[in-house]
Structure 1
Amino acid sequence: MSWIKEGELNLIEKISANVLKAGPMPKHVAFIMDGNRRFARRNNIERQEGHTQGFNKLAETLRWCKHLSIPEVTVYAFSIENFKRTKDEVDGLMELARQKFERLLEERDNLEKHGVCIRVLGDLNMLPHDLQQLIAKAVITTKSHNKCFLNVCFAYTSRYEITNAVREMAWGVEQGLIKSSDVSEPLLSECLYSNNSPNPDLLIRTSGEVRLSDFLLWQTSHSCLVFQSVLWPEYSFWNLCEAVLQYQLSHKSIQKARDLHREHQASLQLEADRVCVAEHLQHHGNGKPADVQRRQEALQHYTTCRQERVQDFLKALKHKRDSYFTDLCSDGVQA
C-alpha cells in the first residue's frame, strides 16, 4: 500500500473536521501504534499480516491528519527492545520495512506533490546495511519537502536517544567546539534525533496500554497524552477526533506549563552565564570588584560568545549527521 492514501473525507467527517479546526489544533501528533500482534491473534491471521495492516492504517491516518491540518506526525515503528523478539518476527519486520521504503522511493513524485518530508529517527547502525541505504535514500530524496513531515522512529528508544545526545555534547567539548559550561537542557534538546521538530502537542497510544514504552520521554514532558483501547489496525477517524478533542480541552493548561518552563530555562541560563562571568572577572580582576557597567558588558560579551559557540557546534553536528546519510547513498551508488 502507498505511503500517501488519496481521497476526501465523507460529508459527516468534513463537518466534524471543520468543527474541530475552529479550536486550537495540534501541530505535531505522535503515535505509539500498538496492537498489531493482538489484532492478528484475534482475527486468526499471520503476525506479519497484522504488521502489514498496521502500516496500511498509518497511511490512512496520515490522510486524516492532512485533512485536519496537522502538518507533523511522529510514529514509533520499531523499538530497540523489539530486537529481543523471535528471529522470524524481527526478520519479517525488516523485510516489511524494506518493501515500504522501496515503495516510498517509487512514489517520490507523489511525495513531492504533497510536500512530504520523511525523517527516520534512531540508531540506523543497528539495521541491515541494505535497509540503512534505502532509508538514507528516502531521507535525502524528501529532504527539501516542507509541507508536512513524517518522523519514523526506527531502532529507537528515548533513553538511547538521550544518551546519544549526551555523547554528542561530549564530542563537542572534546573537539573544542563548546565548553563544558555551555552544556544545558536546551542544548541537549538540540542534540536529540528530533532536533528539527517542535515537541509533540499530542501523543496517542492505542491498544489500551497506559505507558510510554520509552518513546519521546524528553519531548512529551508538556504534551497531552491520550491512551485509547482500540487496536492500531482498527483505528478510525473518530478515534483521532476524540484524541484531538482531549487535546483542545487541556490546551490552556499545557500552554501555560510550556510558557513557565521556557521562562524557567531562560532564567537558569542567565544565572549560569552570570556565574561564569563572575568567575572570569574574579580570576582576572586582581582582586578588585567589578562595577555594575563592567559586569553588564562582560555578561553581554560572554552570552554572545556562548551563543556563537553553540551555533558553530550545532552546524558541525548537523554536518556530521548529514554526511552519514550522504555516505550511505554513495555506498549504494557504488554498489
Structure 2
Amino acid sequence: MHTLDEVNKEKLPKHIAIIMDGNGRWAKQRGKLRVFGHENGVEAVRNTVENCAKLQIQCLTLYAFSTENWNRPKVEVQTLMKLLVASLRKELETLNKNNIKLKAIGKIDTLPQKAQKELSEVISKTSKNTGMILTLALSYGSRDEIKSAVKEISIKVKNNIISPENIDETVINTHLYTHFLPDVDLLIRTSGEHRISNFLLWQIAYAELYFIDVFWPDFREHHLVEAILSYQNRERRFGKTSEQLT
C-alpha cells in the first residue's frame, strides 16, 4: 500500500477538496442504519486531516453537509448535527496540536444554535494557528454561493461602489464564501459516483478530478496518497499546449 513517503513534496496540490460520499451505503452493506455510516466516517475525517497536515497541504476543504441534505430524514439530519458538535469539541486539541486553522463556509446561520456555537468557538480557538486551513462546507451549495455573490456585487454596482466595467474574476472571488482560499487543485470524490453535486463549481474550474470506488468510512492514507500521486502524474495546462509549458 502507498504511504506518505512516496509523495513528491515539491509538487503538492495547494488546495484539496473532498466530497465525502458513501456513508449510508457503507452502513447498509453491514445491515446498519445510515447514521452508523456517518459515525464511522468521523475516523476517515480525522485520518485524512492529520495526513494532509503531515504533508503540509496548505488548504483542505471537506463537503460535510450540503443545502440539499436538509431534505434527508429528520433523524439522520439530527444525528449529523450532533456528530458535528461532538466532533468539533473532541478534535479541538488535535487541531491545535497540528497547527490547523478551522474555517467554515455555507449558510452557517441555518445550523442549530448549538452547532453554530461550537463551530464559532473552535474557529476562534484555532484562529492563530499558521498551518493548514481546514474548511468545513456546512449547509453549503455552490449555486447558492454564486447567487449570493451576484446579489452583493449588484448592490455595490447600484450604489456606485463597483463599476460594471471593473467586474472581473478577482471581484467575483472576493465575494464568494471561499474568498480566503486559492482555487482547488485536486477534487476527490469517494464511493464511485462521478458527480460534483453542487460543490465549489466556480473554484474547481481547473481542478484535477479524482473519483475512487471506496466508501468514505474506508478512506485511509493509501487512498489519499493514490489521489495525490495521480495528480502529480498529470500535466496541468490551463488552456495552453504542452509545448508552451516546456
Q: Same fold (TM over 0.5)?
A: yes
1:164 equivalent to 2:142? Answer: no
Helix, strand or coil for the counterpart of 2:138? strand
* Segment of structure 1 superposing worse, 209-218 or 58-67: 58-67
Aligned partner letter, 2:81: M
Contact 1:48–1:89, Cα closer than 8 Å, also in 2: yes
CA separation of 1:72/1:45 partners in 2, compared to 1, >3 Å: closer, same or farther? Answer: same
1:67 deviates by: 2.7
- 5 Å-filtered alignment, 1:123-134, equals 123-134=107-118
Aligned residue for 1:257? Answer: 238
Equivalent residue in structure 2 for 1:181, among 165, 187, 201? 165
Aligned partner letter, 1:220: I
> Matches of 2:51 and 2:9 in 1, distance apart?
16
Aligned residue for 2:12? Answer: 25
Helix, strand or coil for the counterpart of 1:257? coil
Contact 1:116–1:145, Cα closer than 8 Å, also in 2: yes
CA separation of 1:104/1:23 partners in 2, compared to 1, >3 Å: closer, same or farther? Answer: closer
CA separation of 1:188/1:89 partners in 2, compared to 1, >3 Å: closer, same or farther? Answer: same
Q: Could you give the per-residue CA deviations for residues 176-216 of structure 1, whole angstroms, max 9, x where no partner exists?
A: 43223322222111211111111111100000000100111
- 5 Å-filtered alignment, 1:113-128, equals 113-128=97-112
Aligned residue for 1:211? Answer: 195
Aligned residue for 1:99? Answer: 86
CA separation of 1:189/1:201 partners in 2, compared to 1, >3 Å: closer, same or farther? Answer: same
Contact 1:21–1:68, Cα closer than 8 Å, also in 2: no
* Runs of at least 5 residues in structure 1 that lack an aligned partner in the other structure: 1-11, 261-335
Q: Could you give the per-residue CA deviations for residues 71-115 of structure 1, whole angstroms, max 9, x where no partner exists?
A: 32110000000011111111111111122223345x2xx433322
Aligned residue for 2:34? Answer: 47
CA separation of 1:98/1:22 partners in 2, compared to 1, >3 Å: closer, same or farther? Answer: closer
> Matches of 2:201 and 2:210 in 1, distance apart?
14
Aligned residue for 1:238? Answer: 222
CA separation of 1:46/1:198 partners in 2, compared to 1, >3 Å: closer, same or farther? Answer: same
Aligned partner letter, 1:186: T
* Segment of structure 1 superposing worse, 22-31 or 120-129: 22-31
Query: Across the two proteins, how many residue pairs are aligned to each other?
Result: 241
* Segment of structure 1 superposing worse, 44-53 or 83-92: 44-53
Aligned partner letter, 2:180: N
* Segment of structure 1 superposing worse, 177-186 or 237-246: 177-186
Contact 2:105–2:140, Cα closer than 8 Å, also in 1: yes
Helix, strand or coil for the counterpart of 2:11? coil
* Runs of at least 5 residues in structure 2 that lack an aligned partner in the other structure: 242-246
Aligned partner letter, 2:90: R
Q: Rg bigger for which structure? A: 1
Aligned partner letter, 1:50: G
> Matches of 1:69 and 1:30 in 2, distance apart?
15
1:129 deviates by: 2.3
The percentage of aligned residue pairs carrying the same residue is: 35
Q: Could you give the per-residue CA deviations for residues 275-298 of structure 1, whole angstroms, max 9, x where no partner exists?
A: xxxxxxxxxxxxxxxxxxxxxxxx
Contact 1:29–1:74, Cα closer than 8 Å, also in 2: yes
> Matches of 2:186 and 2:110 in 1, distance apart?
29
What is the TM-score of this pair, normalised by structure 1? 0.67
Aligned partner letter, 1:38: R
> Matches of 1:62 and 1:249 in 2, distance apart?
23
> Matches of 1:143 and 1:134 in 2, distance apart?
14
Aligned partner letter, 2:212: Q
**What root-mean-square deviation, in Å, do the aligned CA atoms of Structure 1 and Structure 2 show?**
2.0
Higher helix share: 1
Aligned residue for 1:277? Answer: none
> Matches of 2:48 and 2:71 in 1, distance apart?
28
Equivalent residue in structure 1 for 2:51, among 56, 64, 69? 64
CA separation of 1:22/1:156 partners in 2, compared to 1, >3 Å: closer, same or farther? Answer: closer
Q: Which has the higher contact order (CA 8 A, sep 6+)?
A: 2
1:132 deviates by: 1.7
Aligned partner letter, 1:75: L
What is the TM-score of this pair, normalised by structure 2? 0.90
